[in-house]
Amino acid sequence: MRTPTTSDGPAQGTALARSQAARRRRVLDAALRLAERGGFDAVQMRDVATEANVALGTVYRYFTSKERLLLEAMVEEIEALAARLEARPPVGTTPADRIVEVLSRGTASLQRHPEVTAAMVRAFGAADEADVVRRVSDIMTGIITGVMHDGPPTPRDLAVARTLQQVWLSSLIGWVGGVDDPARVVVDLETATQLLLGDGAIDGARAER
Amino acid sequence: MRTPTTSDGPAQGTALARSQAARRRRVLDAALRLAERGGFDAVQMRDVATEANVALGTVYRYFTSKERLLLEAMVEEIEALAARLEARPPVGTTPADRIVEVLSRGTASLQRHPEVTAAMVRAFGAADEADVVRRVSDIMTGIITGVMHDGPPTPRDLAVARTLQQVWLSSLIGWVGGVDDPARVVVDLETATQLLLGDGAIDGARAER
DNA sequence: GCCGGAATCGCAACATGTTTCACTTTGGCG
DNA sequence: CGCCAAAGTGAAACATGTTGCGATTCCGGC
């Protein structure tokens, strides 16, 4: 009656655990494959099950809802993104530069699979899945605090990072909802970063290099 | 085949137009009534139809989807909110004060009917209804620019207002999604406003009055 | 190697948003 | 007044997320 992910059954490494991990992966991959072309609507639970060679009930044993499925996929994606960014850190000299760089690269990465991102963001916007949603937000915030400066982030850093994360998400929602064009996401993030970090003036024409 | 709201049929004021307006209103009210207790899920299209004394098909003639129905209700609510705020403007002396006041009052107003707001925000987060979504965002942004200072908003004002609107929405999503508690919305907005308008320092303990 | 229980399967049923369609009502207009 | 196209009705059908359940398979401990 418990989710298989809840650890306490057979120790990890056992055959059961392995086959379960494999199933879970197949389901996630199937969802991603379907999302790739067609976004949220194309991820139909029956198709996910079929594509993953698994019974529909099994999908629901691993993921209690479609939104949760997509959100857990989102956690993985954002985590991978965070890892890539950490592996090749931004080169900017000021915190603002580094933040903008990291957010731009992250957004570009998301936009490389627009339908997948659309599916995930839509799940995020509607979800009644507080815990996973929080996990996603936290990772996004972490991406930002991670490039601010050495040492632990100050309370102000945290506030700035949280604000930027919120702008990031709103922008993504605007983009996948068709309200704004994709480029707008990055523009919004640059603008917000500048405003928050009190860089230069914003007067229609951005000034620096 | 056209939405009745599309004006070009009989001139406004005619009996037809009046009965249509009445129907539309009944549908919106029914949706609000249902949302009031039970939020998004309690707004079931069949129930909306019944409660509005209208056929299901008619609901869909006026509103092409459940989300659109809720979003148009949201437009009305936010417009009403904007009007109330304009009728009794904030009294703060600095723009930041006025913005925080306006956003706090607005949020408080939304939180007075949590389920209704939850329904609307959820529709917003998931919607594939670019035009209405944009309308909602624009009104929210207008609420902010409206209290910044006399005269037309500068480009910088617009950027600040947009950013705050994005923070507002993200916070609302966090609240209705159960990620954050209600008070967090206002806190986020105060924080963001201070950061954006470079008021005081943020160091854990807010300083001023 | 065998057993018991958990995990999976297959499939049907249910809930609800959305569409369709044939029929009826209604309001504007000649 | 009487006609008719548009609007509305009622009910069924469809699409898809979600749940339930009996039959089957698989794993780990004995």
pTM above 0.85, yes or no: yes
pLDDT at A6: 43
Nearest to A202 among B130, B156, B204 (CB): B156
A99 vs chain B: nearest CA distance in angstroms?
Answer: 16
Six-digit token pair at B178? 């159960």
Reduced 3-state DSSP string for chain B = CCCCCCCCCCCCCCHHHHHHHHHHHHHHHHHHHHHHCCHHHHCCHHHHHHHCCCCHHHHHHHCCCHHHHHHHHHHHHHHHHHHHHHHCCCCCCCHHHHHHHHHHHHHHHHHCCHHHHHHHHHHHHHCCCHHHHHHHHHHHHHHHHCCCCCCCCCHHHHHHHHHHHHHHHHHHHHHHCCCCCCHHHHHHHHHHHHHHCCCCCCCCCCCCC
pLDDT in tens, B35-60: 999 999 999 999 999 999 999 999 99
The number of helices, as runs of H, and strands, as runs of E, in chain A is 10, 0
Q: Which of B140, B181, B122, B170 is nearest to A165 (CA)?
A: B170
Chain A residues touching B137 at Cβ < 8 A:
174, 179
Q: Do A188 and B128 touch (CB under 8 A)?
A: no
Q: How confident is the model at residue B106 (pLDDT cuts 50, 70, 90)?
A: very high
A160 close contact with B: CB closer than 8 A:
yes
- What residue type is B5 in one-letter code? T
Residues B158-162: what's their mean pLDDT? 97
Which of A166, A184, A185, A203 to mutate to probe the B interface, most B CBs <10 Å?
A: A166
A35 vs A168: CA distance, rounded Å: 21
Spell out the per-residue pLDDT of chain A, length 209, in tens: 344 444 444 556 676 677 889 999 999 999 999 999 999 999 999 999 999 999 999 999 999 999 999 999 999 999 999 999 999 999 999 999 999 999 999 999 999 999 999 999 999 999 899 999 999 999 999 999 999 999 999 999 999 999 999 999 999 999 999 999 999 999 999 999 999 997 655 544 444 44
Nucleotides on strand C lying under 7 Å from protein C-beta: 6-12, 16-22, 26-29
pLDDT tops 70 at residue B11: no
CA torsion sign for B158, B162, B164, B168 is positive
Q: What is the pLDDT of residue A20?
A: 85
Spatial contact of A143 and A82, defined as CB atoms under 8 Å apart: yes
**Rg over CA atoms, chain A:** 19
Angle of helix A95-111 relative to helix A114-126, nearest 10 degrees, comes to 100
Beta-carbon count within 10 A of A142 CB: 16
CA pair distance B176, A126, nearest whole angstrom:
9
pLDDT above 70 (res B209): no
Q: End-to-end CA distance of chain A, in Å?
A: 59
Enter the tokens of residue B117: 């707001």
Mean of pLDDT over chain B: 90
pLDDT interval class at B199 (50, 70, 90): low
Tokens 């890892």 — which residue? A83
CA dist B159 and A184 (Å) reads: 12
Tell me, what's the pLDDT at A17?
73
Query: Dihedral (C-alpha) A192, A196, A199, A202: value to the nearest 10 degrees?
Result: 40
- The pLDDT confidence band at residue B18, using thresholds 50, 70 and 90, is confident
Q: Which chain D positions come under 7 Å from a protein C-beta? A: 6-12, 16-21, 26-29
**DSSP letter assigned to residue A198:** T
Using the Cβ of B152 and the Cβ atoms of chain A, whether some distance falls under 8 Å is answered with: no
Mean pLDDT of B127-143: 96
